[in-house]
Amino acid sequence: MACNDFTAWGKKIAATILLVGVFPVFVMAHEFFISITSIQHQPKSQKLSVRVKLYINDLETSILADQGVRLNLRTDRPLGNAQTYVEAYMLSRLAIAINDKPVILTFINQQVELSDAIDDSVLICQLEAYGVSEIDKIKVHNSILTEAFDSQTNIVHIRANKTRKAINLDQQLPEDYVTYR
């Protein structure tokens, strides 16, 4: 009987460890708020390629709070015009100036990368700017998700003139620049 009591307690302890230690990983939201923006200059085609990667649930939270619209990007039935909302949001929060002249960003597409953990699924948005022949200075404004999350950090990787540079933008510093000459 004592052995059975020990086995029962062992099962209870194992279940408690599983519920308290492991299960919350699958149901808790991620503990950090981040987006990664990659900007790459292609001088031969005079194009600027921009790729923004961010957590879907964060974007949906922001768009729901701002516009009252549920995108349902993680489901098999997303909102029919969800890309229109994503495009408008991205273009309202991301701006680039080359050599002190604003460039016009064109939203190309979006791609969902689903994860088993709801909070780890990401959305990748592709944007482009044309007519960018030479870069001496690039200024980036990136306030994506900063209105919804105080600790949001937007990391921007820039590749131009055969050089890689990076800037970190957030609610206090939504805009910064790098020079190349």
Domain ranges across the chain: 1-28, 32-179
Q: What's the confidence (pLDDT) of residue 74? A: 85
- Judge whether residue 59 has pLDDT over 80: yes
Q: What's the confidence (pLDDT) of residue 170? A: 96
- Judge whether residue 15 has pLDDT over 50: no
Would you place residue 22 in the very low, low, confident or very high pLDDT band (cuts 50, 70, 90)?
very low
Work out the burial of residue 177: count CB atoms within 10 Å of its CB; fewer than 13 is exposed, 13-18 middle, 19 or more buried. middle
Q: Encode pLDDT of 138-181 as tens digits.
A: 999 999 999 999 999 999 999 999 999 999 999 999 999 999 97
Mean pLDDT, residues 5-31 taken together: 49
Reading the block at residue 138, the tokens are 């690039």
Reading the block at residue 2, the tokens are 């004592």
- Judge whether residue 41 has pLDDT over 70: yes
Reading the block at residue 54, the tokens are 């961010």
pTM as predicted:
0.81
- Which string of b and e fits 3-26 if b means at least 16 CB within 10 Å? eeeeeeeeeeeeeeeeeeeeeeee
> At CA 29, angle to CA 28 and CA 30, rounded to 5?
115
- Judge whether residue 25 has pLDDT over 50: no
Residue type, 73: L
Would you place residue 5 in the very low, low, confident or very high pLDDT band (cuts 50, 70, 90)?
low
CA–CA dist 22, 137 (Å, integer) = 47
Q: Encode pLDDT of 123-143 as tens digits.
A: 999 999 999 999 999 999 999
